[in-house]
Chains A and B, each alone.
Chain A
């Protein structure tokens, strides 16, 4: 343990948060019980305000304090602000820590008795003070950034991000499909101005293709991610096109020769301009190979794997429609029952009908219905809860197109709420009404396909309170828009959490909308939730700016909480255990490469002589915190990693109540723990201990079971409950359920024990958990 000679003067600052905290927690009583010889306590209305910050700063400058504990909202919100403030006042930033008494106390225990909430907060702050007096000042490590960015997804959001970045930073853009453009290239006209989608998009796609700073790969996906933020090594998987993009001049000679119709240009404006082969149709006759004047065709092309080195990643993988066949009463798929995307494509660059709107029998529909909210706004678990945002407007656009193509044709829109917020949208709504589109306020109840290819739609006109039935030639379903397949796998590989709707979670919903919880990973477009082109472009521009800001620093700061090897007998157990190859044996001793090390802590329990400690998360530091935290009142100790911590924050924001017995101890990873620490928790009065991790890093999560089993065995003597659980950031409801169940089990068990100890258990032993 590091012990500075001069005494540490800790300043504790508690925030009322304008009543958000102080209405529930009695901060005055906390002050009384926390203050002491070297500990001063101060309460502010808003610590994050300049007055609040000024107070801390002046206390430091006057020499009153040299370490800071803050009791406020989640560190996610203001930790950086506070730390840079104390840095300015001359204090090492990591000598300031935040105890979260809003998201983890006042917002989630306000339905409980004041005493129990106060007791929890008192424990948390005392624990934090004990921790603060035991930790050492550390300086973050610096690592050189790789000045290259991977943009995943070639829709309008990815295209914009790439183009905005490429003048100053090297970009690699990958796209799963054989061509760029995403959904936008499959759109007809675009609301609210009705300009043609391909006319505004094609120049951008060509610009991507021609930009010297952008390397573009189509039919490519991420297969693996290694390395760390700022310095990733990413494996890409390229599916074969069978035609060399660089050689093909799109002369079309191959298509004319192919007897199987297997070689084709996806559509006229395709970027990259190159033919491709559908191998499921090809019978390998080789006619195309022979005729191609450029020798571009290779029937034996194989899937390829390459590895790239990048410093940052921008995720722009967009959306896909939900498959509406789960809505049984809509009878999708059926002839003339389309999704809105199929409708658009018929009238777009990708059209297979020569840009003609037509029924299955190739005639023009006289009556078209648009069915909104197909699978959106559904809280039954069958569809999606969220509003898909663009359908209200694009369905009106599509209805206008029907009327434009044939003014006597009928277009009906069945809606629940016509959501047309946003500049120019209400005018668009009004204009569509003027065109004679028929609006029905009521969600369609059923769609029945008829023998003659028409479709019967049954609904309630809720404005009249009357049931209605109509026959249509074409019915267009506006399906819920959901994150594209593969978004979760990609996000998991990059350590980026998703929200419970499956879209990428922003670093801050409002204030950091294109950053993620991983400082080197950014997002733009519909992968952050459904939105229109305007907003996708705005986010693309923002993401490019954020990437550029990140790369511009040239260096990335690495958390300094790394292992220190205090004693080593050269057994090499830690070297074998480290999942990131950060340890080596040199001259019979373990040696650390700090930049490769992620600080996961797996080496700590691996060392048989307990010679390794993680700086500022040493066994004795953790024990000191536990002891102070449990001094006044017992509780359930929950060791939690940063991903699961984020879930607890979301639970807080959603005011999901859970037992105030729960006391979190935040760790870089639960793998720093060994039986020493857990036993200490039990000895100091924990009624139960939980380990909760949310990391999606398989290298860690795959070892958690072993960790849990070892801990269970080595802490058995206490006969107190120990649990492990994996909770991803989105699963905040599961988290609170779990905490409640565990807290009550641990409580019941503790009660039983205490009765036993008092010898009262005669005859009534029914209270078992």
Chain B
């Protein structure tokens, strides 16, 4: 994403104030930008902003950049950052807090789409299926066509089973998903 000059109009204090009341946001204002989180993060090099930068951007109220970042989707919830942060900030929880907000704001970048497809597959079958994930994601994300030869080679080598396992009774699972959707994913707000 293009990095714009930060001007008063880029900042959304209401966004900052909302996040600091949500899980992971509690101590956010005391972040000293030490970088322990990003230095600990196994995947920060894949992120467009490191966890530290996300924290900083929330402090400034840079809502658009935060919610469009791939950071929040790439986080593996390994908790390394949260365990080590000397200010008691939990970037892991922060990522979990930001995802539903991004969805609600209608942000559908490829990382968000991947998560949606994954959730869909699990919802329908009660099991994850790499084949379904792969194919459905390719449909929603045209760029994936480049990966097709790789996918085929995986199939021919038997690394990507075509059969789809399914749960016997998915009713309880559906109820859980419904609950989540009804609450808009925001039920955790305090």
A377 lies within 8 A of B40 (CB): no
Write out, one digit per residue, whether chain B residues 25-51 have a CB within 8 A of any chain A CB (1) or not (0): 001001011111111110011000110
User: Which of A200-208, A354-362, A440-448 makes up part of the contact surface?
Assistant: A440-448
A460 lies within 8 A of B38 (CB): yes
User: Which residue in chain A gives the minimum CB-CB distance to B86?
Assistant: A378
A443 lies within 8 A of B88 (CB): no
Given contact pairs A460-B52, A467-B45, A445 touches B86 in the complex (Cβ within 8 A): no
Q: Does A417 contact B (CB under 8 A)?
A: yes
B40 lies within 8 A of A445 (CB): yes
Q: Which positions 378-428 of chain A face chain B at CB distance < 8 Å?
A: 378-380, 383, 416-417
Write out, one digit per residue, whether chain B residues 84-96 have a CB within 8 A of any chain A CB (1) or not (0): 1111100000000
Write out, one digit per residue, whether chain B residues 49-84 have a CB within 8 A of any chain A CB (1) or not (0): 110110000000000000000000000000000001
Chain B contacts for A459, CB-based, 8 A? 35, 39
Minimum CB–CB distance from A376 to chain B (whole Å) comes to 9
Dominant SS at the A interface?
Answer: loop
B53 lies within 8 A of A465 (CB): yes
Minimum CB–CB distance from B104 to chain A (whole Å) comes to 27
B50 lies within 8 A of A460 (CB): yes
Interface size class, chain A: 20 to 34
Q: How far is the CA of A563 from the CA of B116 in the complex (A)?
A: 80
B86 lies within 8 A of A465 (CB): no
Chain A contacts for B30, CB-based, 8 A? 379
Q: How far is the CA of A462 from the CA of B44 in the complex (A)?
A: 12
Chain A contacts for B50, CB-based, 8 A? 460, 465, 467
A467 lies within 8 A of B41 (CB): yes
A466 lies within 8 A of B84 (CB): no
Given contact pairs A379-B30, A460-B50, A467-B44, A445 touches B87 in the complex (Cβ within 8 A): no
A380 lies within 8 A of B85 (CB): yes
A379 lies within 8 A of B87 (CB): yes
B88 lies within 8 A of A446 (CB): no
Minimum CB–CB distance from B133 to chain A (whole Å) comes to 28
A458 lies within 8 A of B86 (CB): no
Given contact pairs A460-B44, A465-B49, A443 touches B34 in the complex (Cβ within 8 A): yes
Q: How far is the CA of A378 from the CA of B34 in the complex (A)?
A: 11
Q: How far is the CA of A459 from the CA of B49 in the complex (A)?
A: 15
Partner of A462, one of B35, B45, B49, B88: B35
Q: How far is the CA of A443 from the CA of B40 in the complex (A)?
A: 10
Q: Which positions 325-383 of chain A face chain B at CB distance < 8 Å?
A: 329, 373, 377-380, 383
User: Which residue in chain B gives the minimum CB-CB distance to A417?
Assistant: B32
Q: How far is the CA of A459 from the CA of B39 in the complex (A)?
A: 4
Minimum CB–CB distance from A375 to chain B (whole Å) comes to 9
A373 lies within 8 A of B34 (CB): yes
Chain B contacts for A445, CB-based, 8 A? 35-40, 84
B39 lies within 8 A of A442 (CB): yes
Q: How far is the CA of A441 from the CA of B52 in the complex (A)?
A: 13
Q: How far is the CA of A416 from the CA of B85 in the complex (A)?
A: 13
Q: Which positions 108-165 of chain B face chain A at CB distance < 8 Å?
A: none
29 A-B contacts (beta carbon < 8 Å):
A373-B86, A377-B32, A377-B86, A378-B87, A379-B86, A380-B87, A380-B88, A417-B32, A442-B34, A442-B39, A445-B35, A445-B37, A445-B38, A445-B39, A445-B84, A458-B40, A459-B35, A459-B39, A460-B36, A460-B37, A460-B44, A461-B35, A462-B33, A462-B34, A465-B38, A465-B49, A465-B52, A467-B39, A467-B50
Sorted nearest first, the 6 A-B pairs with minimum C-beta distance are: A445-B39, A460-B35, A460-B38, A443-B34, A442-B35, A460-B39
A interface residue numbers (CB < 8 A to B): 329, 373, 377-380, 383, 416-417, 441-446, 458-462, 465-468
Known contacts A379-B30, A442-B39, A460-B52, then 19 further A-B pairs from the complex at CB < 8 Å, ordered by chain A residue? A373-B86, A380-B88, A383-B86, A416-B32, A416-B33, A444-B36, A445-B37, A445-B39, A445-B40, A446-B40, A459-B35, A460-B38, A460-B39, A460-B44, A462-B34, A465-B50, A465-B53, A467-B41, A467-B50
